[in-house]
Amino acid sequence: MQFEMLRAYAPSALVLAAVADARDSIDELLRMPEVFRPGAAREAFEPLLFQSEMHSNAFLEGVEVPIAAMLDEMKADSPLGVRLRSIAAVQARIAADAKTFLQTPPRILAAWQVAASAGLPDADDSRGRPRVAGELLVDPLNSGIAASDVSDCTPTLIALVTQNAVEIPPIVRAACVYLLLSLAMPFTHGNGVLARSAAHAVLIGQGTDPDHRLALMTAMTAAGRPRYVQSLRAASALTDEAVDNWVVWFCQLIEQAALQSRTIVEQVREALSAQL
């Protein structure tokens, strides 16, 4: 699979309209005082958002546990506890690593992969390095997409993330990074976590979601695993139309992510009102 076309991809008018709608939904979210103003509401919002995002990320990795039991399971000395902690470790680093990811994406991906594969007995020899031909590839989504040569992925990733192309909206760039890593699957384990985290890191690092307020993983789960896989398979054609459709889908995810975050804000409002 060749990824050069992603470097030269130019969004269509349809895509740019979807980007504008997604941008509007983010702006509406970021104007909510519970999201930007320091205080009890924001302090309550942030951990609820983190829990929702981590639970959704785990679900997409095939780790299904009720959100109410998740925090207790994380403390357990069990394979499930280890897996949840590894996913949480990556989730916690997205915002902190976003700026560095824009400068040296392969290094940050490797660090995230080490965290994502922690405690997996069959990942010890491959942690932190790109996979090589013949290695077993773990794909929790069962996407059925044949992984490409990793050497095709890295140059495109660097170009997408580091190029100074101001005419490319950050949302489009994030969608292309997400697609690239989802199709290339550059490591033996944790590729889904890495692809989703990288997309959000681009949004954070380029100022679209500067304070990590979007419930992006939650929106992906709400869309459903079958829809996720269907969109990925369709985009794997890597034609202009296929990538356009993928970016539009990603924009729709962002709109849903903003809605999911606003839902969490409403929960916070109700909880604080009940305390009065």
pLDDT tens-digit profile of 209-261? 999 999 999 999 998 888 888 999 999 999 999 999 999 999 999 999 999 99
pTM for the full model?
Answer: 0.93
What's the whole-number mean pLDDT along residues 152-181?
88
Report the distance separating Cα 215 and Cα 193, nearest Å: 15
* The predicted structure's pLDDT at residue 248: 98
CATH of the domain at 159: 1.10.3290.10
* The predicted structure's pLDDT at residue 36: 87
- pLDDT higher than threshold 90 for residue 8: no
pLDDT band at 164 (very low <50, low <70, confident <90, very high): low
Tally of domains within the chain: 1
- pLDDT higher than threshold 80 for residue 126: no
- pLDDT higher than threshold 70 for residue 207: yes
Q: At 125, which amino acid appears?
A: D
122-157 burial: b if 16+ Cβ within 10 Å, else e = ebeebbeebbeeeeeebebbebebebbebebbbebb
pLDDT band at 121 (very low <50, low <70, confident <90, very high): low
pLDDT in tens, 70-119: 989 998 888 889 889 999 999 999 999 999 999 999 999 999 999 988 87
- Tell which wins on pLDDT, 139 or 72: 72
Query: For the chain, where are the E strands, in sequence order?
Result: none
Domain range holding 152? 4-275
- Tell which wins on pLDDT, 156 or 2: 156
Nearest to 177 by CA among 155, 199, 159, 158: 199
- pLDDT higher than threshold 60 for residue 123: no
pLDDT band at 276 (very low <50, low <70, confident <90, very high): low
- Tell which wins on pLDDT, 55 or 148: 55
Of the given ranges (72-76, 173-177, 203-207), which has the lowest mean pLDDT?
72-76
Three-class DSSP category at 74 = helix
